[in-house]
Amino acid sequence: MSPAHQRQQTDSACGCRSGCSTPPAVSQPVVSDAPAIESRRFRIANMDCASEESEIRRALEGMAGVRGLQFNLGDRELTIAANDRVLPLALEAIRKAGFKPEPLGAKDAQRFRIANMDCASEESEIRRALEGMTGIRGLQFNLRDRELAIAADDLALQQALGAIRKAGFKPEPLSGVDQPAAAAASPPGFWATWGKSLGALGLAMVAEGLAFALPDSGPVKVLGMALAAAAIALSGFSVYGKGLAALRQGRLNINALMAVAVTGAFLIGQWPEAAMVMALYAIAEAIEARAVDRARGAIKSLLALAPEQAEVRQSDGNWERIGVKTVAVDAVVRIRPGERVPLDGIVTLGQSAIDQSPVTGESLPVDKAPGDEVFAGTINQSGALEIRVTAPASDSTLARIIHAVEQAQSSRAPTQRFVDRFAAIYTPAVFILAVAVALLMPWLMGLTWMQAIYKALVLLVIACPCALVISTPVTVVSGLAAGARRGILIKGGVYLEEARKIKAVALDKTGTITEGKPKLVAFEPADAALGQQALEGLAKSLAARSDHPVSKAIADGVPSAAQEVGEFQAVAGRGVQGVIDGHTYVLANHRWIEERGQCSAELEARLAVHEQSGRTVTLLASSERVMAICAVADTIKPSSAQAVADLKALGVTPVMLTGDNLATAQTVGAQAGIAEVRGNLLPEDKLRAIGELQQRLGVTAMTGDGINDAPALAQADIGFAMGGAGTHTAMEAADVVVMNDDLRRLPETIRLSKRTHAVLWQNIALALGIKLVFLLLAIFDDASMWMAVFADMGASLLVVFNGLRLLRQRAGQ
C-alpha cells in the first residue's frame, strides 16, 4: 500500500478532499431542532485502497444527513458524521456495496456471559427473542464459553437484555474483563455439571423402586411423590425456568415441551416416570454439552501451543524469562532447541529447522535463517535462535487463527438456518399433534382419557427436536476445527458447505502454481552498441522501486548500482516508469511495448525464444526505442501438479489466469497439467474471466493474495488466499485462508466440504428417522416415557458423535 493510501483522507462539507477552504461540516455548530450530528467510527476489513474508498463514497453520495466522512485506509477505518436517523441508512448502503462495517470505540460490542446458554437451540431462542429489534447491529455467540457479544446502541442494548431475561436467560456483563479469563474464573464444578443430575437419577430410581416393590398405599404414594418431586426439582430447575418463560411468551421450545410432558405425567400419577424422564434428560444435556465443548474447543487447544513465558534480552544484556503478554514489540527473544516459539518474530541470529505444522499444517520442518519469519506455537527443533518480536501475544498469527475460527463458529451455516426454520415449525406442529392425540384417541380408538393423555405426553418427549437442532452446529464446528488443524482457515460455515459445489478454480500463476521467487536468467542489450553496464544500471534503478516479484528478481540479479529515480509510477498490468537523468524510461511487459508501438519483427523473434522456454520477458525502453531484454524464470512448486490432478479427480476444472505473457503461461500450465490457460490479463480481464467461468461451469473459486486480485476475489463465489501465515490482509480479505503455499489444500478443502455435507444430512436423517419410528410406536403401539427419553437421548448422542468423526479423519480421506 502506498503512503498516499495510508494517510487519513477527510471530506469537508462541500464534498472535497482535505485542503478545501470550506470548513468541515463536522466541526460546525448546529443550531436547530434536527437530530444531533455525532461521529461514529467503523472498521471495514475489506476496505484498504482508494478504489474501495470511491465505491463507498458513491454509495453514500447525495444522502441527506451524512455531514462528513473520514477515511483511514491504513487501519481500514471510516468515521461517519451523521444523525441517528440517517446512520442506519448509510450503513445499509455500505453493506449493499459489498462491505461490512463493524462499530468501534464507544459503540463497540459489549460481551455478556450467559451461564445457561450452551447449545444451538438456546442460541436460536435468543436470536428469536431479539428478532426485528431496532438498534441491534450484530450478535456474536460463543457457546463454548457461554458468551454473547451484542453490538447495539445503549437504549437497544437495555431492551435486548430485557428480552433475553424474559426468554429465561441471565446475561452477566464481562466489561473490562479478559474473555477467556472471565470464562475460566468460575468453571462449573462436578456438582453443577453431573452431581445434581446423578443425584436426581438416584432419587428417581428409588421412587420407581417404591412404586414397583411396595403396595399402593397412602404413605408409599406420598413418599414416592416426594422423591419424584425432589428429583424433578434437582435436575429440572433450569429446564422449567426456560420452559415457563417460553410458554409465557407463546413460544414452544424444547424446554417447554419437557416442562409440559413432565408436569403432565406427574399430575396423572406417573410421577416415577416423570422424575426419571427429567433426570435422564438432564444427563443427556450434560453429555451433549460436553461433546459440543470438545468440538468447539478443538481449535482452542492451539492456545496451549504457545508458551506462557519467553526469554527476553534486557537493557543490560542479560536474559530474563517473563510472561509473553508483557513482551513488547521489537524485543529480542531467545529460543533454545526443543522449545516452542513464544511470539511471532523475525530471526536475527542463528539457524534452525522449525516445525510449523500447528500453524500452517506443513508436515516437514522448515529451515529458518536470519530474515525469516517464525510464528508463535511452532517448535524450534535443532539450533538456538534469536528473534525480534513483530507482534504482541494477543495479535500473533496463532491468536488470529483462533479468533477467526471462533468468529466462523459463531456464524450460522445454510443448513443450520434451514434446520432452525424447520424446528420453529416442527415443534408447534408436534404440540398440536399431541393435543389432538389426547382429545381424539378416546373417540377414535376407545382409549381412556388417562391413556390418551399419557400417549400425548410420550409423544411430546419423543418429538423433542434437540437432536435435530444440535445435529448441524456440532458438525459444522468439527469441520471448521478439522480444517484449522490442517492449516485451512475457513471463515464460516457457509464457505465450508459451499466449497463442495465448486466446479472451477481460477489459479494465479506467480506464487500460487509457481514458487513465486523468479530469478533473472538473461539480460540482453537490444542493440550491441549500447553499453551493458549502463543499461543494467537503468534497469536496476526502476526495478528496485517496485515490489513486484519480477522486478525484485531483476533488481537482485543486476550487479550495477541503482540511480535516483524521479516521477516513479507503477502502471497496473503493464510495468513501471520513471525519470532518470532527465529522461523517461519504462520497464515494461510485452503487452505495453506493443501498445507503445515499439515492437519489431526482429524483437518479436528474440522475445519468442525466451517466452517459448517459459520465461517472463521484461523490456527496458526509452521514449524512442527498446534498449534491453530482461528474461526471468520461475519454477512450479512440487505440489502443484498433484493439486491440479486432485482437482480434476474431484470434477473441478482448473484454469490459469495470469498477467504474464501467454507463451510463458502455457509452458507453466503444461508442467502443472492445466489445459485452459489465459495470459496477458489485466485485473479487469480477470474479473470478466471469473464471470465467464461462472456462467459456463458454475460455482467458481479464485486464488490470490487478497489484495492484487481483489476484484476477481470479490466476483468469485469463494476466494482462497494462499500463504496467509503472518499476513493480516490475506486473513481478512479471503473466505478461505491456506496458511501455507501448498496448493493441495484446495482439493482438501473441497473433500472436507463434501464429508461435512454428507455428515450433516446423515445427522438430519438419523434425528428425523429415529423420531418418526418412535412417533408411530407412541401413537399406534405401546411406548412408555422411558422409551421416549431413551429415543431422544440416543438420537442426540448419535448425531453429536457422528459429527465429531470429522475431527478424527485424516487429510486424504
Cell of 267: 399430575
Per the DSSP assignment, residues forming a β-bridge with 173 are: 112
At 684, the amino acid letter reads E
Cell of 430: 408436534
d(CA 10, CA 27): 12
User: Which residues does 542 contact at the CB level (< 8 Å), separation at least 6?
Assistant: 551, 565, 568, 576, 577, 578, 580, 585, 586, 587, 620
Q: Answer yes or no: 508 catalytic.
A: yes
Sheet holding 136-142, edge to edge: 136-142, 147-152, 110-114, 171-173
- Residue 391 has φ and ψ, to the nearest 5°, of -155, 145
- Residue 214 has φ and ψ, to the nearest 5°, of -105, 155
Catalytic residue among 11, 145, 508, 735: 508
Tell me which residue of 410, 402, 408 sits closest to 358, measured CA to CA.
402
Q: Are 552 and 576 in contact (CB under 8 A)?
A: no
d(CA 261, CA 267): 10
User: Which residues does 417 contact at the CB level (< 8 Å), separation at least 6?
Assistant: none
Helix pair 549-557, 532-543: axis angle to 10 deg? 140
At 756, the amino acid letter reads T
Tell me which residue of 398, 579, 551, 369 sits closest to 485, measured CA to CA.
398
Return the biggest CA–CA distance within the chain. 120
Cell of 753: 466440504
d(CA 259, CA 252): 11
Using CA atoms of 610, 612, 618, 624 in order, give the dihedral in degrees to the nearest 10: 80
Residues 291, 376, 636, 609, CA torsion sign = positive
Q: Count of CB atoms within 10 A of residue 364's CB? A: 9
Q: Which helix (H) or strand (E) holds 629?
A: strand 626-633
Sheet holding 653-657, edge to edge: 488-490, 736-738, 718-722, 700-704, 504-507, 653-657, 676-678
d(CA 712, CA 717): 10
Tell me which residue of 166, 171, 167, 168 sits closest to 141, measured CA to CA.
171
Cell of 341: 516459539
d(CA 361, CA 339): 19
Q: Which DSSP state fits 340?
A: B
User: Which residues does 666 contact at the CB level (< 8 Å), separation at least 6?
Assistant: 677, 679
User: Which residues does 472 contact at the CB level (< 8 Å), separation at least 6?
Assistant: 120, 413, 415, 416, 419, 760, 763, 764
**Where are any strands of DSSP class E within 390-535?**
488-490, 504-507, 519-525
Give the residue numbers marked as catalytic. 508
